[in-house]
């Protein structure tokens, strides 16, 4: 069963209804998707914990807690939401629609949790766990390979290779500050077009931030620009 295929379509509709839409449409679900978000947050934490215990049978509670925090933080959840096109399906109020609510990190992350809560009610634990395994496969594999951060550069490499058949190119465009407290600015390009730009206290960190911004632009279908 696909992510958006429900035995009870009303659960999917509720999961996609933002509170601002519910306020403007009295016939909609009171409070929008907030109740399902509440449930989905707990289901996500439970399932992620179960999967991590399987992936890392030798690791202690502290390490597993750190891994779980990385997997379920808002930035990562919003990236998953963009990948599955969740923003395009949301029912938003006029104000949120006008101000780009479909791309807001908080709205996307909350909606994904609501979708997980709805899936749990519609399909049960086993089927929801199967869906989440698929969504979390790549970051879980990164953790398994010893990458203690969600590696945006690796994700971007895969995405750009798929879309353009090329590899992204990183260039240091500026550094500032004293030697003990430098700030680096990195730009990432594909075929001469800028995908994203990021800053950090090291060249590696600035590349990660640039990759994160590039992914946000690609997943939100923002045009890349020449520079």
pLDDT for res 37: 97
As a dihedral over the C-alpha atoms of residue 99, residue 100, residue 106, residue 108, rounded to 10 degrees, the angle is: 150
- Non-local (6+) Cβ contacts of 171 within 8 A are 186, 187, 188, 189
Average pLDDT along the chain, 227 residues, taken 10 residues at a time: 89 95 86 95 96 92 86 86 90 90 89 97 96 87 67 76 85 86 88 87 86 76 52
Is 96 among the catalytic positions?
no
Cα–Cα distance measured from residue 19 to residue 32, given in angstroms and rounded to the nearest whole number: 4
Question: What architecture does CATH give domain 152-226?
Answer: 2-Layer Sandwich (3.30)
pTM assigned to the model: 0.69
**Which residues are 196's β-sheet partners?**
188
Go through the chain and tell me how many residues it has: 227
Q: Do domains 9-144 and 152-226 have the same CATH topology?
A: no
The owner of tokens 């949790």 is 113
Query: Distance between the two ends of the chain, CA-based, in angstroms?
Result: 44
Residue 183, pLDDT score: 87
| Predicted pLDDT at 39 | 98
Which residue ranges make up each domain of the chain?
A: 9-144, 152-226
Q: Give kind and range of the element (H or E) at residue 176.
A: strand 169-176
**215-226 tens-digit pLDDT:** 777 766 654 554
**What integer pLDDT is reported at residue 219 of this predicted model?**
65
Is 126 an active-site residue?
A: no
8 Å CB contact between 143 and 55? yes
CA gap 75, 187 in Å, rounded: 20
Active-site position among 37, 41, 197, 212:
41
- One of 37, 96, 110, 113 is an active-site residue; which one? 113
* 9-144 placed in CATH 1.10.8.80: no
Number of neighbouring beta carbons within 10 Å of residue 151:
17
| Interacting residues of 193 by C-beta distance below 8 A, sequence separation 6+ | 224, 225, 226, 227
Nearest C-alpha neighbor of 156 from the set 167, 145, 144: 167
What is the structure's pLDDT at 1? Answer: 63
């Amino acid at each position: 069963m696909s992510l958006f295929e429900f035995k009870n379509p009303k659960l999917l509709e509720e999961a996609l209804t933002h509170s601002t839409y519910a306020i403007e449409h009295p016939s909609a679900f009171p409070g929008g998707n907030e109740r399902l978000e509440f449930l989905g947050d707990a289901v996500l934490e439970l399932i992620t914990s179960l999967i991590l215990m399987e992936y890392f049978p030798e690791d202690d509670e502290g390490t597993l807690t750190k891994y779980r925090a990385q997997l379920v933080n808002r930035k990562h959840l919003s990236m998953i939401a963009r990948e599955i096109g969740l923003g395009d399906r949301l029912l938003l109020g006029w104000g949120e629609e006008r101000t780009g609510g479909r791309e807001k990190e908080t709205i996307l992350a909350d909606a994904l949790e609501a979708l997980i809560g709805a899936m749990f009610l519609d399909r049960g634990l086993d089927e929801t766990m199967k869906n989440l395994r698929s969504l979390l496969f790549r970051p879980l594999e990164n953790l398994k390979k010893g990458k203690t951060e969600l590696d945006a550069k690796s994700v971007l490499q895969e995405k750009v290779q798929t879309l353009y058949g090329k590899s992204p190119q990183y260039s240091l465009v500026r550094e500032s500050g004293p030697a003990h407290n430098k700030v680096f600015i990195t730009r990432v390009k594909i075929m001469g077009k800028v995908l994203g730009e990021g800053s950090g206290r090291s060249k590696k960190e600035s590349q990660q931030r640039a990759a994160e911004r590039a992914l946000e632009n690609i997943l939100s279908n923002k045009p890349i620009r020449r520079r």
